[in-house]
Structure 1
Amino acid sequence: MDEVKELYVDSVQFSYFGSHPVLTGAYLKCRVGDVIALLGRNGCGKSTFLKIIFGSIKAQHSYILVNGKRINRAYWSGQVGYLSQDSFLPTNEKVSDLIRLLVDDRSMRNMVLNDVRIQTLQDKKVYQLSGGERRYLEVYLLICQPSDFLLLDEPFSGLEPIYKQHITALILKFKDKKGFVISDHNYRDVLDIATQVVLLQNGTCRQIHHKKELEFFYVPIGTFDKD
C-alpha cells in the first residue's frame, strides 16, 4: 500500500509584538489530491498562516508534520512550496533561461517549454510579461518542483479572466500529484476547484461543509442563492 502523503498543521499560535493574537490554534490537514480553499476576511491572518507553515515566519507555537515527520521549517524538507503575493522571479531574466535554471527534471522542463502559452513567452524577459503571464509561469515553475504540497497566496488576484482559467487548469492537471492550499480574495475562483473549504476566523480554522455556511461568517446573505 502506498504511503499517504500529508501536511498536518495544528495548534498554530502567533501574535505580532504588542498586538492582539492573530492565530490562536489554527489547524489544517492537506493530503496529495486535496485542493483546500483557505478563506477569511482581510487581516484575519491567512498570509501569516501560510508563511508559518512554509517557515518564513516563526510562530510562538506550532505543530507541523510533513509526511509524518515533525519539522520547524517546511522549506527545509523540500516537500512544501510557497507562492507569495509578490513575484519571486528576477525581472531582467529571459523566460526560457529561468525555466532551464529552475526546473531540474528534464521531462518536466520540456513539458513547460512546450506549453502552448509558455512558447509565446520564452524569448521575453520577466518584466515584459503581463500580470497573468507572469503568475502562470510562477505557478507552473512551482508545480514542477519535487515538493508534495503547494501553498498559493492570492494566485488569482488582479489577473485577467483568461489567465485565471489557465492557472485553474494547471492546478487541476496536477492535483493528483500534489496537495494545494489556496488563499485568495477571489473566493469563487477557489471554490470552483476546492475539495474542502477552511475559514480562518478569530484565530482558528472552521471547516466549511457547504458554501452556504459562508453566508453566516464571510459573505453577504444570499450570495449563493442562484448557485
Structure 2
Amino acid sequence: MARPSIWLLLLLIGCPSHCPRATQQHSSRRAYHKTPRAIAQYATFGDRLVGMALTVGAEDGQLLVGPQRVRVVPLGDIDVDHPYRQQYDSNDPVVSTADGQLFPSFSACVVWLVATCAHQATRSLAASTVSHPGPVMDLYRTLATSPIQDDIAHVDCASPDGSKHQRVIVLSGARRDNAFAAYVRVSAASASGYVVLGTTEADVEGAEGWLRSAPATGELLRRSARGIGVDVDALRLVDLSGSM
C-alpha cells in the first residue's frame, strides 16, 4: 500500500478553522532529534498548516494531535502476521488511536484526521450497511483493502488483529482546481460493514436519486471503485440525498 503524500495532501485539503487546537512543545533540541522524523516535522509546522497542533504526552510515545489521542506503537507490539509490521518505518512509525485503531504510519493518521475534519461540512449522499457474510460483504472488504491507484488520495487503518479495516478515499477536494469535496468511507469486518458517501457538490434541482442529484460525485465514485474491481450498483447504496 502506498503511503499518502502527507505534506502535499495537508496543504491542498486544508482543515476548517473550527478544528480544536492544542499546544505543542519540544522541550529541547535533543528531544527533537530523538523523536521520529515525521512526528518531529509535524510538531514544527503542522499546526500552522491544518490547525491541529501536537502535544507530547508525559508517557513515552503518547501524543495528542488536535483532539485525537494517539500512541506510537513499537514494532515488537504489532502482531507478527499484521501487514503493518512488514512495512514498519521507525521514521514514520505505526500509531494507534484511543479507540484501538492502528494506522500504518503517523502520517497516515494525520491525513485521516485532516480528511475527516475537512469533510465535516459535507452532506451524506448515500450509504449502505451489511451485518452478515456474503457477496456484498466481500465487496466492502475489497473496497477497504485492495490496492488503490497512487494518484487517488486515500488512507487506511485496521484493528490490531487485522480483522477490521477502514478506508477513506478522497474522491474530490485534494487538488486546488477541484470545485467541490467528496469522499467515500468504508468499513469492513468479518461479518459487518458500512459505506458512506459524502459530498459538497451542489444539488441538481429537481433530480431524483443520489446519482442524479450529484452526478460528478457519482461518476468519481464509479471510476474509483471500478479501478479496484467493485461495481457500485452491487454495493446497494441507499439514497440519502433528499434527507438533508
> Please, what TM-score do these two structures have when normalized by structure 2?
0.28
TM-score normalized by the length of structure 1: 0.29
